[in-house]
Amino acid sequence: MTSDHHARLRILAAVAALAVVLLALAALAACGSSGGATSSASPSATGPVTVTDDSGHQVTLARPATRVVSLAPANTEIAFALGAGGKLVAGTSYDDYPAAAKALPKIGDFQSPSVEKIVSFQPDLVLAAGGIQAGLRAKLENLGIKVFVVDPSTLDGVYTDLTALGKLLGVSDKATTVVAAMKQRADAVEQKVAGLSRPTVFVEIYSKPLMTAGKATFIDNLVTLAGGTNIGDAAGSGFPSFSSEVLFKDDPDVYVATTGSMATPVQIAKRSGYSGLKAVKDGRVYVIEDNLLVRPGPRLVDGLEQLAQMIHPEVFGSPSPAASTTP
């Protein structure tokens, strides 16, 4: 055959050899990283733990996690509440509670955490959120990292997550205590409002356009538990926009704005036409910290108690002075 043909054969052989070498390297790398938490460690005295997370997947750890990365401010709060804050090696740039959380190294923000950075911390457990982070689970598990998705939709769901995470972090006793305390506070509120009439409540998430919390939100759940009726329900689920006309037609008894609206009760009362609202005339316009109502974590009960004060001050006492229209 011609030398041309020989040259081509040589090139083909070289490429094939290179491919084999690359494949071998890849195989080695894959073998190396899939070690993770399950294969390398010898089973501990307590044995492997399996729990189911909120995305329906099972998460198994041979021994309690020691290097935890949190991908949501709520998950960071949960870790600290369980006394496992010391096991956190990284959090998101929005982690702000408790104060110690701010000092954690960051893996990016809530919407698009850096997978590279997560891996660089060599976690044995990652606490992810639902929704926008749904795709992350598969990516991280492909890299051999265990992921627990925290995405409850009710207070009971939060208790379940706290218990499950207690097992994974090796702090089951503490988890039981925390859940019991939360349940006790929530039940106390529920009992005190049972049988009372339910004032209508409007929760303002944002003012321009006017947005509220509808069905299937924690806010809606908590307003109901606190003994009120959320008029935002009529607008659908999630955080829909709400017609100002209907707000005035419904004329709610209590007006609660979240800190996201960036307005004080006095400013709200001064808005065009608002002086005609019952809630303004009765001085029942309040502002509440939104994190207490939207982060699926232990502080939801704080939010519940504050809402209860705003909705039934006759039972729980008035909210702190900073929260009302009376200066």
Residues that bind other proteins (CB under 8 A): 94, 109-111, 205-211, 234-236, 239-246, 248-249, 251, 260, 262-263, 267, 271-273, 276, 290
CB of 250 to other proteins, least distance (A): 8
CB of 299 to other proteins, least distance (A): 16
Residue 262 corresponds to which tokens in the numbers above?
A: 């960036």
Asked if 206 and 240 touch (Cβ cutoff 8 Å), the reply is no
Nearer to other proteins (CB atom), residue 157 or residue 236: 236
CB of 239 to other proteins, least distance (A): 7
CB of 307 to other proteins, least distance (A): 20
Nearer to other proteins (CB atom), residue 37 or residue 263: 263
CB of 154 to other proteins, least distance (A): 23
- Ranges of beta strands (E only) in 133-270 are 147-150, 200-206, 211-212, 229-230, 254-258
Residue 176 corresponds to which tokens in the numbers above?
A: 């039981």
Nearer to other proteins (CB atom), residue 247 or residue 304: 247
**Chain centroid offset of residue 19 CA:** 44
Nearer to other proteins (CB atom), residue 273 or residue 283: 273
- Which residue carries 């019991």 as its tokens? 180
Nearer to other proteins (CB atom), residue 273 or residue 317: 273
Rounded Cα distance between 232 and 205, Å, is 11
Residue 273 corresponds to which tokens in the numbers above?
A: 């036409």
- Ranges of beta strands (E only) in 26-82 are 49-52, 58-61, 68-70
Rounded Cα distance between 222 and 248, Å, is 23
Nearer to other proteins (CB atom), residue 179 or residue 263: 263
CB of 289 to other proteins, least distance (A): 11
Q: Which residues contact 191 (CB under 8 A, 6 or more apart)?
A: none
Nearest CA among 306, 313, 317, 295 for reference residue 94? 295
